[in-house]
Structure 1
Amino acid sequence: MSTPDFIRELRKHIGHDLLWLMGVTGVVIAEDGSILLHKRADDGSWAPPGGILEPGEQPAQALAREIYEETGVHAVPERIVSVVTEPPFTYANGDTVQFMDVAFRCRPVGGEIRLDEDESLDAGWFAPDELPWMHERVLRRIRHARAAAEETDAWFVPPADPA
């Protein structure tokens, strides 16, 4: 994944220190139930498309852009399915980040799979019972998106009981 210019500028000032970022994930589900995934160029893992919001960008607009950039598929975000702060992690270059991720259930509306090799090594549609290995945090987003048709609220980590 190419690093956005605004992050490069921030890194000049903060080095490898923890950087708080807003991310979006799009679980694109076709009419037949298949799920759009791409193999990330930065770490080789399979995941739904998504990325980092640019300053001032709206989450759903950023997500539609990211889905198209990473896969060539046009998709419409239909509803938020989860809002989660992920644990901090460190990239191979030493940069430490922590994301608040907003995951959306999305509907494909056109385009066809094509790869932007800066961001995706591969992409395709996968039946829910034939998904490649993915991190649990990614599978959780997919589960919430698949359940979203029956649910009315987005999933989030509830606060501790004050009692």
Structure 2
Amino acid sequence: MATPDFIRELRATAGHQLLFLPGVSAVVFDDAGRVLLGRRTDTGKWSVIGGIPEPGEQPAAAAVREVYEETAVECVPERVVLVQALKPVEYPNSDRCQYMDITFRCRAVGGEARVNDDESLDVAWFSVDALPALNEFALLRIKQALTDEPTWFEPTTLL
């Protein structure tokens, strides 16, 4: 995955220490109810589309941008379906990050699904009853996007 310039600048002074970063994910549906997935270059696995907002960029705008950059599909965010702090990750270069992910349910409004950058090996539409192997991250987001429930978040207990 391409590291945004602003993170490279942070890393120049922060080193490999844990950075808490925003993230967005998009669960995009077409008019036939199929979901758009990308097969990631870094893992080789299928997942929902996502990325990191640029400084000052609104999360919904970042989701739209990421979907277009990675898949050439134009979409419109419909609602927030999930907000979740993810577990910290360590990259092969020893950089550590923890993402606060905001997931949007989106509707495709144009474009043809195709690999549109170097972050995806493949891009395709899938029927929700014929999904490829997906990790829990993607499955939870698709499940929540298919419901009419309020935005999902990790429950907490009162002190």
The TM-score by the shorter chain falls in which range? over 0.9
In the superposition, the TM-score normalised over structure 2's length comes to 0.95
Task: For 1:136-147, list aligned pairs within 5 A.
Answer: 136-147=136-147
Alignment RMSD (CA, Å): 1.1
> Do the aligned partners of 2:114 and 2:124 also contact (CA within 8 Å) in 1?
no
Give 1:20's aligned residue: 20
Give 2:40's aligned residue: 40
Cα distance, 1:40 vs. partner? 1.2
Q: Which segment drifts farther, 113-122 or 34-43? A: 113-122
Identity percentage over the alignment? Answer: 53
Cα distance, 1:128 vs. partner? 0.9
1:158 has 2:158 as partner: no
Deviation string 1:119-148 (CA, Å, 9 cap, x unpaired) is 11100001112111121122101100011x
* Distance in 1 (alpha carbons) for counterparts of 2:129 and 2:95: 35
Give 1:114's aligned residue: 114
1:135 has 2:142 as partner: no
* Distance in 2 (alpha carbons) for counterparts of 1:116 and 1:17: 32
In the superposition, the TM-score normalised over structure 1's length comes to 0.93
Unaligned runs of 5+ in 2: none
Deviation string 1:83-131 (CA, Å, 9 cap, x unpaired) is 0001001112221110000000000000002213411110000111211
List structure 1 runs of 4+ shifted beyond 3 angstroms: none
Cα distance, 1:42 vs. partner? 2.0
> Do the aligned partners of 1:41 and 1:117 also contact (CA within 8 Å) in 2?
no
Q: What is the count of residue pairs matched by the alignment?
A: 159
